[in-house]
Amino acid sequence: MQNIKEKEQEIVREFELFDDWMDKYNYIIDLGKSLPPVDKDFKNEKYLIKGCQARVWLHAHYMDGKVFYSADSDALITKGIIALLIRVLSGQKATDIVQSDMSFIDEIGLREHLSQTRSNGLSNMIKQMKLYALAFEKQNKKQ
């Protein structure tokens, strides 16, 4: 399986194919549409990420030292962005997730195309994903 950096580079190459940001958004929207649905047990207040304009639900589980995410949002573009994050981080080792810098977001120019509040929302999503990884890692060490 590809590591985080390899996955990030793959996305950067895909985005290079589009000249126009409308096309990039079209792609993000398609990714959002193809994100597997989240179990409805996880679509509640407990799994809601604070500080996003759209509602985002994030759930994670831990298996053999690796973290697997599932997420949903009521906004499609947000969902597409989460799909990118999940593609990069899901199935990776908790330690690697905690240490990842997610620099592909800046490389594809996504952050500069989001307003300040939306960019904060994106940071909150990444933070929440890393917090899950950190918690699983700690739990693992205790056992």
Partner 1 sequence: MGLKEELRKSFPILGRKVNNRPLVYLDNAATTQKPAEVIDRISRYYREENSNIHRGAHFLSNMATEAYEKARNSIQSFINAGSPAEIIFTRGTTESINLVAHSFAEKYLKKGDEVVISEMEHHSNIVPWQIVCERHKARLRIIPLTASGELDLDEFGNMLGKKTKIIAVTHVSNALGTVNPVREITGIAHKLDIPVLIDGAQATPHMKVDVREIDCDFYCFSGHKMYGPMGTGVLYGKEEWLREMPPYQSGGEMIKEVSFEKTTFNELPFKFEAGTPNVADVLGLEAAATFITELGYKEIASHEDALLEYAKEKLAGIDKLRLIASPREQSSVISFIFEDIHPYDTGILLDKMGIAVRTGHHCAQPLMDHLGVPGTVRASFAIYNTMEEADILVNALIKIREMLA
Inter-axis angle of helices 76-89 and 21-34, nearest 10 = 70
57 burial level (CB within 10 Å; 0-12, 13-18, 19+): buried
Catalytic residue from among 28, 31, 49, 52: 52
| Beta-bridge partners for 57 | 48, 72
Q: What is the spatial order of strands in the sheet that 92-93 belongs to?
A: 56-63, 66-73, 92-93
Contact between 74 and partner 1 (CB under 8 A)?
Answer: yes
Would you count residue 118 as binding partner 1 (CB under 8 A)?
yes
Point out which span in 10-18, 23-31, 43-51, 96-104 binds partner 1 (CB under 8 A). Answer: 23-31
Q: Which stretch binds partner 1 (CB under 8 A): 6-14, 61-69, 96-104, 109-117?
A: 109-117
Angle at 25 between CA 7 and CA 71, to 5 degrees: 60
Q: Which of 38, 48, 98, 114 binds partner 1 (CB under 8 A)?
A: 114
Is 55 a binding residue for partner 1 by CB under 8 A? The answer is yes
Applying CB under 8 A, which residues contact partner 1?
21-22, 25-26, 29, 53-55, 74-78, 113-115, 118
